[in-house]
């Protein structure tokens, strides 16, 4: 009997309270849902068992990583179409009694489209030599048909998946609705037989004890970065820059990454002989650029052995060993200041909220009076109740173990509490959306190679993570900001120009050039 997809669609529509905006294909070949839309392919019943045995976002995440769920068509479009339904935060009715465990499926909490945000005028851009596209890309907004009417009796409140079903109280509240309970029973019938599938090997094992110890941070960094430099070359391209690029009309990914590194150097007012500490130096791209283009003496620190080996080879090949030193070292253990400048590009997300003030104080102490910090960091939107913020389960298990995002205001406040004077903040949200789309394009164009270099599951993690993140930046649920802060000298001299957006000459314009 080939009816699995219609039954799945009925379950989903009952729980969501609206017709599906995408098509579903089940393991028996049956299909349901609107034609002409991306297809979510459920390859076997194991995907459903994962959702039932692991309520919350981890169930669907594990099924995706294991290859039991795939997408035919545009992954961006599918995520965008389902995002407003599956990832919207819908307040759940409080449960009157302690909750009991429930077998209810949810999905990774990829940020969804909020209320409309002001649009940026479209500018033709060219990514990696592809035909020009508009930036930021326009996202299709599906027109959904009205929910089917209730056939008899007064219309009850429709069940709908709360935003965070991993919370037992939300699950219990949902299951008070008899239609939701019936939908879960139907899902359980489709998912049989019942053994609990093992987690994919790409999932990080949770460690006990406090977060962000030196040993814990080394393990977390190794999980994310020590998966093979060749794999990162496939995704990031020759620049080997793993952070938001700085795009110009008609520019390529490589040009945009060059421009970002140069922007950082100019904001830091680097010049020949200056000492720069690059915290979280990655594969050495910032250190190489600063030394080669500005004559700066750079110390780069990373916890990843693979990154350090790669960066040291690039330094030697570039003839810059007299200017650049790459260390495997925790930033908390750097003790050879003072430095003229510190760059922290995409590293602060690993610090943790509880350690952020110490992070800011450490960097402040490493700077000379008048020295500058450029902190390039992803930010989330503030929570109505910041105490309720939790690390995303999918990101924590598969992408950035122990990674935490903070609102921009929190970051600025902590820098100021450490003694810094914040002089400039530049938001690059749309630039990161374009960067992520370029990385996804590179990954998908070399998919077989990426799988060979790491594993099918690892490649799927990156595909989902980057595509969902691109939409989060496009919709304004995530941002990325460059914060320029100064350790002011005596009598308050910050050494910053009156027009701070005039960052100074590039290397070709330097006096005597």
* pLDDT band (50, 70, 90) for residue 221: low
Average pLDDT over residues 217-244: 79
* pLDDT band (50, 70, 90) for residue 392: confident
In this structure, are residues 269 and 299 in contact, taking their beta carbons and an 8 Å threshold? no
- Residues ≥6 apart with Cβ < 8 Å to 312: 284, 326
Supply 62's token pair: 């594990």
How far apart, in whole angstroms, are the C-alpha atoms of residue 188 and residue 194?
Answer: 9
How far apart, in whole angstroms, are the C-alpha atoms of residue 44 and residue 326?
Answer: 48
Name the CATH topology of 214-509.
Answer: Rossmann fold (3.40.50)
In this structure, are residues 228 and 221 in contact, taking their beta carbons and an 8 Å threshold? no
* pLDDT band (50, 70, 90) for residue 503: low
- Residues ≥6 apart with Cβ < 8 Å to 6: 30, 32
In 43-102, beta strands by DSSP E: 69-72
Output phi, psi for 73, to 5 deg. Answer: 110, -160
DSSP for 378-424, please give it: EEEPPPSSGGG----HHIIIII-TT---B-HHHHHHHHHHTT-EEEE
Residue 66 DSSP symbol: T
Q: 478-486 and 367-380: which strand pairing?
A: antiparallel
Q: pLDDT digits over 356-389, tens only?
A: 999 999 999 999 999 999 999 999 999 998 888 8
The CA R_g of the chain, rounded to the nearest whole Å, is: 25
How far apart, in whole angstroms, are the C-alpha atoms of residue 369 and residue 478?
Answer: 33
* pTM, rounded to two decimals: 0.80
What confidence score (pLDDT) does residue 76 get? Answer: 97
3-state secondary structure of 283: coil
Supply 374's token pair: 């450029």
Q: pLDDT digits over 145-204, tens only?
A: 333 333 334 334 444 444 444 455 566 666 788 888 898 899 999 998 778 899 998 887
Q: Would you list the domain boundaries of the chain?
A: 1-106+165-200, 214-509
What confidence score (pLDDT) does residue 470 get? Answer: 97
Alpha-carbon distance values, 203 to 58, 84, 303, 447 (Å): 10, 27, 20, 20
């Amino acid at each position: 009997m080939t009816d699995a997809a219609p039954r799945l669609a009925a379950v989903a529509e009952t729980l969501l309270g609206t017709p599906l905006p995408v098509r579903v294909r089940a393991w028996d070949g049956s299909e349901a849902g609107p034609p002409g839309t991306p297809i979510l392919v459920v390859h076997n019943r194991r995907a459903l068992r994962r959702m039932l045995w692991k309520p919350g976002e981890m169930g669907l995440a594990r099924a995706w990583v294991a290859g039991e769920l795939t997408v035919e068509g545009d992954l961006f479009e599918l995520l965008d179409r389902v995002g407003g339904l599956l990832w919207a935060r819908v307040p759940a009715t409080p449960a009157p009694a302690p909750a009991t465990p429930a077998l209810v499926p949810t999905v990774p909490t990829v940020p969804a489209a909020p209320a409309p945000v002001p649009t940026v005028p479209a500018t033709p851009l060219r990514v990696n030599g592809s035909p020009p596209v508009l930036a930021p890309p326009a996202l299709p907004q599906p027109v959904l048909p009205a929910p089917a009417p209730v056939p008899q009796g007064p219309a009850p409140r429709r069940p709908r998946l709360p935003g965070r079903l991993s919370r037992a109280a939300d699950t219990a509240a949902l299951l008070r609705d008899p239609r939701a309970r019936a939908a879960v029973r139907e899902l359980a019938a489709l998912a049989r037989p019942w053994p609990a599938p093992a987690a994919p090997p790409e999932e990080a094992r949770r460690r006990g004890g406090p977060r962000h110890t030196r040993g814990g941070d080394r393990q977390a960094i190794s999980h994310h970065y020590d998966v093979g430099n060749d794999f990162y070359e496939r995704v990031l391209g020759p620049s080997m820059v793993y952070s938001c690029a700085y795009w110009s009309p008609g520019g390529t990914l490589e040009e945009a990454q060059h421009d970002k590194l140069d922007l950082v150097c100019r904001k830091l007012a680097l010049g020949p002989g200056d000492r720069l500490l690059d915290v979280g130096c990655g594969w050495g791209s910032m250190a190489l650029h600063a030394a080669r283009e500005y004559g700066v003496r750079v110390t780069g620190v990373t916890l990843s052995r693979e990154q350090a080996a790669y960066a040291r080879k690039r330094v030697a090949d570039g003839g810059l060993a007299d200017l650049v030193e790459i260390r495997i070292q925790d930033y908390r253990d750097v003790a050879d200041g003072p430095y003229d400048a510190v760059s922290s590009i995409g590293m602060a997300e690993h610090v943790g909220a509880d350690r952020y003030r110490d992070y800011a104080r450490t960097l402040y102490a490493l700077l000379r009076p008048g020295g500058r910090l450029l902190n390039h960091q992803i930010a989330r939107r503030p929570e109505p109740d910041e105490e309720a913020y939790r690390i995303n389960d999918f990101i924590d298990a598969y992408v950035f173990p122990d990674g935490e995002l903070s609102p921009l205001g929190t970051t600025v406040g902590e820098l100021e509490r450490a003694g810094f004077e914040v002089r400039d903040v530049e938001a690059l949200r749309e630039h990161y959306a374009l960067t992520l789309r370029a990385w996804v394009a590179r990954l998908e164009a070399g998919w077989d190679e990426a799988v060979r270099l790491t594993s099918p599951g690892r490649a799927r993690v990156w595909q989902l993570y980057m595509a969902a993140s691109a939409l989060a930046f496009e919709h304004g649920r995530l941002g990325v900001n460059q914060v320029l802060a100064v350790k002011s000298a005596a009598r308050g001299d910050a050494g910053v120009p009156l027009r701070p957006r005039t960052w100074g000459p590039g290397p070709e314009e330097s006096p005597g050039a």
